[in-house]
Structure 1
């Protein structure tokens, strides 16, 4: 009896390991798709996958580790299929891409935490975001969430958000980057807590 019980644990760990790796791959593919092809739908696909990862109890650092492990092993990831074509481009994972992908993911997780009522149930008591990420981005996401929920806004002046960054980090990102981060937050809010009925 002892023997079979012993076998059970690694098996469960293996399932856990496989699923978090699959989530990481799926997120990374959608991230690359959103970066390379742009567009609202590609961004929403990434956000939906991110919200799903949040609900399943993933953490930003856990998924970072998965992607970095694959990067170190030289794992190649196939690009998302483009419609009609059967081109499968494989590419190695690059450190900068991992960092940016996880930053986007952290911003999504923090945005979910900024919604007034728990819109997404999380199947884990582990905090989704590292303390450092929360410190860096909580104010940024909160300012946008406040504009969205309290004032029904879907855009803010980039300057306002740069000032928030200056206050927290001591420097601000370029306007175009700040604008894309803002879009990420507003789109996440639209996905998890739609304000206006679709016409």
Structure 2
């Protein structure tokens, strides 16, 4: 699996899930329409007008699908909506030095790639992504490499997440593969309870 796209620099540290997806957008009972909530307070002012200073509102980065972010991205609450909203906004990968654990797990379950690099490599990518002419890269999940003009960087990702992204797997699909085993276990459990009651 390869992810290709334009990068955008978002070097802020400790961006929490309330910044990524403000709580007022959590009232929906479906995943639909969450793109509007992604980075809403950074993207829009109190009147709903776009903030021209925010990177994803600038013409140079409006089509970016890969973010280069500061340390500890995704900290805060466990809201999965943060991942859903960014993916609906068109974000396919986020490159950083580290990610909050629950956020990382939510991203893994939903197919959002989170390659991890050193601080020095991240800063180099931010510098390249800050080019107003745009900077495209390729994230090669199979070889764990980030490839672009003047850049060939190794990144880390745990094997289970790597496999899941390559195979398009998620927890639900993995569980569905075990339906017959689950049903057999439930039947055996019911039989044992029935015997117990009779005794």
Structure 1 length normalisation: TM-score?
0.28
Q: Which is higher, the Rg of structure 1 or of structure 2?
A: 2
